Structure formats: structure tokens, C-alpha cells
Structure 1
């Protein structure tokens, strides 16, 4: 057995022994309680260089924190930022998905693609299809194989390109969507550990995720056409196996085309409505008193509602045009079914919310961040190298834990405050994490959709096994990793904007210590006066 095969077998064995993410969070909570007892007993502390507050470790078994945990349990869950955002968007996305609008639009984009640009069309469609959530795995990837076969190309090359775009390119998109709301919703309460006034919006990574599309698309195009397809050779159906006879190859029906026309008109109407509201005098989407780069922050924060309403309106318009909606009861049923599919996430969110809240109550996050930032500053490492470390750590954890939100819920309270103290914005740190979380999805058999992709592949070649799929996808994963590291480093080196009004660097407000009387000696000396605040100013329970 080769070294590569032994490594993959080891990863699979270790990964299969990991518990469900729910129990991972239970273990993390148990470890956090023990660590808080040690920290409180040893008097761990630090000084927040932004607010000037004395940070002291708090026991999670103190009467105050036990009261927060037990009595405030419903509020802790309700205040978990990603939960409300995701549920809001799902109300609309469920309608767009269940009326058939998402799948029909994807089919229309792929079926009409010329052969010469078939691969980049598949890639871009795959990345944009992230707005359809898990539907992209069951629509884009098998459809890409069908379209390649219809064009006389190897269907498994199409499947590989679709898989690379949908899963390996998960950090890329042309417009923010539910995944941005989910991940950046976790970033904001982590940033509040250092700067309670910091605001993160759904468009915080917009420019970066568009950059991923432009960087990854030519990579997939080159590898698919010049490496993967030649390696696969000319495809001939195995004995007894022909191209699957599915309706995916059939052109769109008149009803489906009419539905897309209705949806397009509805989309234009919604864009026009948001534009009019933005341009009106006294618009709630514009803050005239803010700095110029922050003036449109209310507009960016309205994008959660915008996408929810757009998905709902365009989905309903498509359903009316195509006939997939017969009455308003169908719309209600679709929204109900969409929320029902969130049940596993809601279960996970309960434990993730309590871990994030308890981490905040313990005060360990900012203490660790302040001390780690001081150590890193002493090493004088450049910012690009620091963020490259975030990418690599994210890549490693992605081999074992598939849930992006689960990993970020655990990492964000540490890395976001730490990098803020080093002058890196929360949005840039989040972008580096998302890059690492994206590239290794296609390289691990522990990824939840890996067996499904293998099943799709075996429709075309029953002899195509797990090792075959791994060998096919590893070139993409390796190229994505190199490109991702380079992209993150270049983004910092050239100080490019990460999103509208958001840069690479974080400029903290003036430290509160500057306002203290000189006679007090500041807050950093060993005989500093006692401080009432044991943790950074924040809402009682993190949002």
C-alpha cells in the first residue's frame, strides 16, 4: 500500500471516530468550564488596549454565570446571530428552491453554454449556486456530467469540475448570500469581545468572494481540460451502462421559460424598489452623519432582508408563471418545509450558541487574544504570514469537521479578537478562514457529500471507486490551496478592500486609558485600581 493510501486510510479512521458536532460542542463546553475554574483561581488577567478595561477570568460556575446559563437559556439561543439570519433567508430561499426556480435557472445556464466555454460556465454556475444551499450538490454536479457527455466530453470531467466549483470553491460567489450571513454573523460577537461598537454586515466579504471566482475559475478550467480529462481518457459507456436517461438533458419547457421570465421581472422590480428606497430623502438605508466609507452600512445590513424578500418574490413569480404554485397555501407549505430542513442546524445552534456565550462570560477569549497578540507582535511576523496560518489551520480542521459554522463558532472568539489587536479587520480574518474551509472539502472522504458524489460518478462508470474520486479531485485541492494562500497574502500586501467600506486593517478607537488622570498610573501597572468590568463591555448575552 502506498504512503498516500495509508495517509488517507488513517484520516478516514480518525475522522470516523469523531463524535457528532453537537457532542464536540458539549466537550468544548465541559473543557471551557474547567479552564474557567483554573483561570479564575490563578487570577488570569490582561488589559484591553482598546477600551482600557481590566480583563479578569471568571468562573463559569459562579452564581452570576450559573444564573445566566440556566435562567437565560432561551435568550442565549435567541440571541445567537446566525440563527435568526439563516431562518430569515430560508423563508424566501425555500420558496425559490421548491418552486423549481433555482434548478431551472441552473439548467438553463448550463444547457445553453457553448462547448468552448462549457467548463467556465459550469464553474461560475457552481459557485453562484451556493445561494441554493445543498441543492447545488444534487443539481449542478450531476447535471454538469450530463452536459459534458452531451457535448462529447468525458462526463466524469464535468462531474469533477462541478464538484470543484460547488464544494472547493465554496468561498467564492458573485453576490453575498446565506453562507455570508451565517459566517459573518458569528464574526460580529467575536469582534465585540474587543470592540463592542464594531458592526459586521453581510457584504463584509463581497469583494473577496468575487475575487475567489475570478481566481478559481481559470484554475478549474485549465485542470479540467488539460489535466483531468486527458487522464480520464476517452469515455465509452461500460457494458450495460449508458448515459442516464433523465429529464436533465431536455430543454426547458414553455412553462419553465415563462416562469423564469416572471422571476426575472420580479428581480428587476425588487432591485428597483431597493434603489428607490436608498435614493429617497431621509432613506433608512443611508446614514448621513457617518463617515463617507460607513455611510451605506444600513444598506449593507439590509441585504439579509433583501435576499429573503428577493428569493420569496422571485420564487413565487416563477411558481405562478410555471404553474408549480396553485395557491397561497403552497407558498406556506414550502416555507414550512424549508424550516423543517433546518432542524439539524437548529439543534447544533443551541449548543454552539451556549459555547459562544459562555466563552464570552468567562472572559478567557480577550485575555487569550491580548496575550497572544503581544507574543505575535514580539515575533514581528508580517500580516500576510499571520493570515496564512489561519488558512492552514482552517484547512486542517476541515479534513475532520465538515460544518463551516461549527468550526468558526469555536475559532472566531479566539482568532478574531487576536487579529483585531494586531490591526487586522474581522472581515479579513473571516475571509482567510473561509478560504481554508473551502479548499479541502473536495479532498476528504469525511465530507458529508463525498459518498453522494461517488454515487453520481458510478452512474457513468461502476468501477470508479473512492480512490479514483480522490485522485481526480486532489489536483484541484492542491491548486486551490496554493492559489488561496497566495490570494490571502496578496490581499493584505496590496491592502485591497474586502467588502464595501471594509478594508484589510482594523483601526481601533482611542483607548479609554488615555482619558485617565496621570496620577492613577494607568491600568497596566501591578498596583492599578480595581476595575468593575471583568469582561469587555458587551451585551449581557452575545448576539
Structure 2
């Protein structure tokens, strides 16, 4: 017992040291400015050295496998300097999380401002056993990936509020939700947009081995179903046994008081429920065969206007019941109240918008210079040259992906480079492309939550600062490291067991060919 306590104290000491070092760093926005400067200098040095890589990869514009060469491009050439000046606004406005966050908040802000979210949380707190709340938060986070990136905007801050309502540390709730949403991004009970996107790239890589090879959207379905429960269990244990004890008692200024629901609030909930039901029925009608939001060419739902508009649909799912609730409980008296609530939600995002401007420049500089591609290809070549086979090769591939993910955030961009290398290589050893794809997804998801290059990382830092004014990048990374390690180990062990017993990864899809 004493030795176990010493290990725990040692782990806490390491994490505390990382947090202290991280939080002594400047403001996150300033950090991204510094990182931009580092990329500018490093790109100039690497370009002067003529650093380049040649690889067989997927050209995503034509979806064809080609031999491509990527050379590090300097940002200190006349062209590079012109790029930095002329692309700054586009880098900012095209940064994917920015539009997602702001559009979703238009709806969420109304639902919060009218009191709907607070009343729903009151019902949640009074009806959910305290011992199950962590499970609910993590599980909801994992399931949110079916709605693309909306979980980052809605569930992560909601996790903090729910925990605070239960008298628990809100940072633990934020961490639990973030772990589920981002760390568990490749787990779900349903196949979603990510499955379709990666399967398309995997198919092109598999065709290098066999012209008639095909990887379907549901080829990882059985595995991700089991993964959903695994990630929920691991996320719950890490939250309650490691993260929450380390955080201690919350001493911040944010409060969440639980009161009895009034008759007016009950009336508002009734209005909100009816309006939400009507909206959902309308959406379901639009998804009937040949429905307006189905794919007009293929009539499918997965790749359709419905999935492309999921953010605005979720915003409406908050906005419409929010307005109905406000009318029912008389917190909304005119259209001006609605517009004011939307404006108020936007005003709270000022700090985040500033942070996003610099984060977007850094991410785009990394892409423009090709440094991320160089790291990915060299890592792939290294692993290919080791000579591992079977389980050691699969485990090494998971670890390599997890490492590369720290430097190259886009899952599809990494896979477009790695799939044509690893899928044929492992297929030649008898491994199915679906297993290679799943191994990639495990590594990619596990380190999302500790990678500053992950698109929504800056947003989560902003959420954390609401509950801990002294928190920064160091606090968030330190809080999430236990999740990242636990997910990586637990998920890899599950994959090894799956491989050893030859279990099907999806309908009619095995681990070997």
C-alpha cells in the first residue's frame, strides 16, 4: 500500500511540475504567436537544407494514388512573406471551429439565456444518481461524434456546469466531457461521417494491393460499439480516481445553485418539449426516402445535406425550444429579447476569437511549409524499416500515429499520407485494411486531447479559464494526459485481444484477409 501511495505521489508530482511549467508560459494567444515565429525560422532553415520527402500517397483533389514529393517551403522567402500577409484574414475566417462555435452558440445562447438549460440541468441533477453522472457525461461525449464537432461547443462546457451543479469540481466535468468528445472520437454506437471519410481513403490505399479491394463505412462498426463502452469506463475511472482527486475542492467564483422548478418553469418546459418534438418530426420527414435533406443523387443520409448542415440543425434544436421556453415562462416578451440574448452569447466569445486568430495562423503555417508531411512520412518510413510483424507492428503503428497526431491535427490529411503506405504493407502480411484503419483511429483519437494543433484545443482552453482564471495550456494538457495514456493503453489492448481471437471488426469483415 505504501509503495502504491509513493507511485501516486510521484505521478502527482510529475503532473504538477508539467502544470507549473505550462502555466508559467505566456497567454495561449501569445504562445501561438511564438509558435508562428518558430515555424517561420525552422521552415527557413529546413528549406535552405533542402529537406523533402517522396512518398506514394492519396491526392485528395483527384482521389488518386500518386507518387508525390513534398519539400519544406520557407516562410522567409518573398513568396512566403506575401503568403503570410495575404492569407491572414482567410486563415482566420476559414478556420473550421470558428464558424461551428459561433453558429452553434447563437442557439445555445438563447437556450441558456431564457433559462431552459438551467432548468433542464436542475431536472438532471434531481433525477440522476450522483454516482452515475460521470458515466453520463463521458458517454454523451463519445456519442456526440455522430453530430460532427458539435460536442466541443455544447457538451464540453455543459459537462463543467453539470459537475458544478452536483457540488463537484467543474474542471473535472469539463475534462470528462472533453475526453469523451475528443479522445473517444473514434468510438460510437453508430457509424458516422468520420467512418465514411476514412473508409474512402482506406479504399484507395487498399487498391494498391488489390484492384477490387474495398473498405466500407461499417467495416469498423462492431469494434467502435465495444470501444464506446470501453472509453466510457476508462474515462469515468480516470475522472473519479485521478483527475478529480488531484483538482481537489472547487474554490472559484462560479456558482450553480439547485432550486425547485416553479410552475412557470414547468410551463416553459412544456412549451419547449412540444416545440422540440415538432422540430424533430420535421427533420425526420426531411429524412424520409427522397426527403429534402437526403442526398439528391444517392438518396443516402450519411453523405447528405442533413449531415453537412448538422451544426445549424443543432443550433435550431437549442434555439426553437429556447424561445418556446422563454415565452412559456415569460423570460421572453418580444423579439428584442431574443436578439439581445444572441448578442450576449457572442459577446462572451471575444477572448476566444482573439485566440483563434493566432491559432489559425499557426495551423496554416504548419500546413503551408509541409513540415507536418515531412514528420509523417519520415515516421512511416522509420516504422516500415523496423521489420516488425503481427501485433508488434500493429502496436508500433498505433504509437506512431499517436505521436504524429501531436504535429498534424487533421485526421484525413494524415490518413491520406499514411494509408497508401501502411494498408498495402500490412495487407501483404495478411492484415485486413479495416484493422489497419482502426489501429490508425485509435492512435489518432487518443492524443487529440493533448495536442495544441487539434482545432478545438484553443476553445477548450477558453472554457477552462472561466472556472480557473490561472489556468492555461499547461493546466489543460496536464489534466488530460491521464486520459490520453489510459485511452491509448486500454484501446490498444482491446485491439490486440480482437486480433488474437480473430473477431469481426464489422459486418462480414475480419482482422485478416
Shared fold per TM-score greater than 0.5: yes
- Whole-Å separation in 1 of the counterparts to 2:359 and 2:136: 32
TM-score normalized with structure 2 length:
0.64
1:480 Cα offset (Å) = 8.1
- Structure 1 residues 330, 452: CA separation in 2 closer, same or farther (over 3 Å shift)? closer
- RMSD of aligned Cα (Å): 5.0
Matched residue SS, 1:382: helix
Partner of 2:158: 136
1:392 Cα offset (Å) = 7.8
- Structure 1 residues 166, 35: CA separation in 2 closer, same or farther (over 3 Å shift)? closer
Partner of 1:354: 361
- Whole-Å separation in 1 of the counterparts to 2:401 and 2:268: 44
- Whole-Å separation in 2 of the counterparts to 1:310 and 1:449: 22
Matched residue SS, 1:53: strand
Task: Note the alpha carbon deviations across 1:24-62, whole angstroms, 9 max, x for none.
Answer: 222222221222222322222223413323322222122
Figure out how many residues of one structure are paired with residues of the other and give that number.
415
Q: Which structure 2 segments of 5+ residues have no match?
A: 1-5, 57-64, 142-150, 205-219, 246-254, 424-432, 452-459, 470-474
- Structure 1 residues 261, 438: CA separation in 2 closer, same or farther (over 3 Å shift)? farther
Task: Note the alpha carbon deviations across 1:439-483, whole angstroms, 9 max, x for none.
Answer: 99xxxxx9888898799xxxxxxxxxxxxxx9xx99x98688435
| Partner of residue 286 from structure 2, selected from 277, 280, 284 | 277
Partner of 2:494: 490
Contact preservation (8 Å) 1:95, 1:311: yes
| Partner of residue 37 from structure 1, selected from 34, 41, 44 | 44
Partner of 1:72: 87
Matched residue SS, 2:66: coil
Structure with larger Rg: 1
Partner of 1:120: 132
Q: Which structure 1 segments of 5+ residues have no match?
A: 146-158, 196-204, 232-245, 395-406, 441-445, 456-469, 506-543
Matched residue SS, 2:70: strand
- Whole-Å separation in 2 of the counterparts to 1:62 and 1:338: 42
Contact preservation (8 Å) 2:172, 2:239: no
- Whole-Å separation in 2 of the counterparts to 1:43 and 1:304: 43
| Partner of residue 73 from structure 2, selected from 42, 58, 68 | 58
User: Counterparts in 2 of 1:485-524, with a 5 A limit?
Assistant: 485-487=489-491, 490=494, 496=505
- Structure 1 residues 454, 385: CA separation in 2 closer, same or farther (over 3 Å shift)? same
Task: Note the alpha carbon deviations across 1:82-140, whole angstroms, 9 max, x for none.
Answer: 11121111111111222222221121022023xxx441145315764866456536531
- Whole-Å separation in 1 of the counterparts to 2:235 and 2:93: 41
Partner of 2:262: 253
Q: Which 10-residue stretch deviates more, 75-84 or 59-68? A: 59-68
User: Counterparts in 2 of 1:312-391, with a 5 A limit?
Assistant: 312-379=319-386, 380=388, 382-388=393-399
TM-score normalized with structure 1 length:
0.61
| Partner of residue 120 from structure 2, selected from 105, 115, 124 | 105
Task: Note the alpha carbon deviations across 1:491-524, whole angstroms, 9 max, x for none.
Answer: 6856757xxx9x999xxxxxxxxxxxxxxxxxxx
Contact preservation (8 Å) 1:370, 1:418: yes
